[in-house]
Amino acid sequence: MQEAMRTIWRHVCVIAANESTFQAGIFCLSSLQDIRASAAWLNFLDEFKDKHPFRAAPAQCIRKPLFNYAMFGPSCSERVSILKHHYSFICDAIPSLIAVSWGICDAELGLLRGKNGEVYRLSLRSPEYCYKEGELSFVLSDIADGLKLATLTFVLGNEDDGTPSVLIGGLQGPSSHCGPDAKARIVKATRSLWGLRPKMAVFLAATTLARTLGARRVLAVSNDTHSINADTCWQRRRMRADYDAFWLERGGLRAREGFVLPLISAKSQNERRERQRAHIDELVGRFFMEKPCLDLGMFGSSSSCRCTKLSSRQPNITADPFLCRKFRRDSNSRKFSHNFDA
């Protein structure tokens, strides 16, 4: 117990020095709710930083298991377990996703083209304002002005038998701050994509990811297990999405986490809509099968364990001919992107 308290106090001092005494006090009091679980999480992050060439985790990541996270109900120790499984999994499978989870860069998966020339971007990003719902987000946005039409936030991990798992913690449309025409933009995008709804597009991306990683199922929160249920009454009123209806429409079955969803959705009768769905499968499947590499030195470590060499001016080309895709680091947009035709 004394060692756990020393671990917590060490991080309290760091937060006080880097942020404020007030934030350090909140962190300290929150950690005392479950001292052992809090210390276990902090020790995990310290060991994670020592074993792998990544810089220290952002403050938001450090605080996550101390508050409601991923779904409503789990204890602090269970939230710590969810996060530890996520970071252990992606570090073994695709280490560059650490950069995405921590908001260092975004991954552009590709573009969807509408019937009238509209272009929509499918990307993988950090959760940003959906940080309570998971560690990664599939986002479909309008390339014209960057409006986020749909955001699906999830966390990765392993089931008891070691099988990969995907837990969807949130599915959002445009923010309420986007203006009164946001709903009209959703309708326009759906028509442009031959009836493929933006939320369906990011959901298809999640199921493709699950299949690519070898998962047997996708788990998703329900109206009752969404993390917002731990918030105050006025905050809960902000949830407008009907998760239960969407998952039931996708063939979901009730489960402890909320719903368990099939990995393969029913095919559409519309040929062009089915082409869009197949294109999403191709973009996501190829991205995760090829396991993109970033220069791990960008994380602030002098370690020589680098999978590639990256220049801020020149594109990075992976050494393996199978990974024949180009990446470019854009310090302004925080993105690494790829070109399959290169």
Last residue of a domain, one of 46, 72, 93: 93
pLDDT of residue 248: 95
φ/ψ bin of 103: left (φ > 0), alpha (ψ from -120 to 50), beta (otherwise): left
Say yes or no: 66 and 106 in one domain. no
pLDDT above 60 (res 253): yes
The string of pLDDT tens digits covering residues 26-85 is 999 999 989 999 999 999 999 888 877 777 888 889 999 999 999 998 999 999 999 999
Q: Which two tokens stand for residue 313?
A: 């001016």
Say yes or no: 113 and 223 in one domain. yes
Task: Average the pLDDT over 185-208 and give the result.
Answer: 95
pLDDT above 60 (res 133): yes
Type of residue numbered 255: A
- At 212 the three-state DSSP class reads helix
Q: How many structural domains comprise the chain?
A: 3
Say yes or no: 191 and 322 in one domain. no
pTM beyond 0.75: the answer is yes
Is there a domain that residue 256 lies in? yes
How many other CB atoms sit within 10 Å of the CB of residue 57? 22
pLDDT of residue 330: 40
pLDDT of residue 235: 65
Percent of the chain having pLDDT more than 70? 81
Is there a domain that residue 16 lies in? yes
Least confident span in 48-52, 131-135, 193-197, 220-224: 48-52
Q: Which residue has the higher pLDDT, 250 or 178?
A: 250
The string of pLDDT tens digits covering residues 103-115 is 888 999 999 999 9
Is there a domain that residue 147 lies in? yes
Is there a domain that residue 300 lies in? no
Is there a domain that residue 301 lies in? no
Confirm if 152 and 125 have CB atoms less than 8 A apart.
no
Say yes or no: 78 and 144 in one domain. no
Say yes or no: 240 and 322 in one domain. no
Backbone angles phi, psi at 281, to 5 degrees: -55, -45
CATH number for the domain harbouring residue 218: 3.40.630
Least confident span in 94-98, 117-121, 174-178, 234-238: 234-238
Is there a domain that residue 168 lies in? yes
How far apart CA 7 and CA 272 sit, in angstroms, is 56
How far apart CA 199 and CA 170 sit, in angstroms, is 11
Task: Average the pLDDT over 145-155 and give the result.
Answer: 95
Domain that holds residue 155: 97-290
pLDDT above 50 (res 124): yes
pLDDT of residue 192: 95
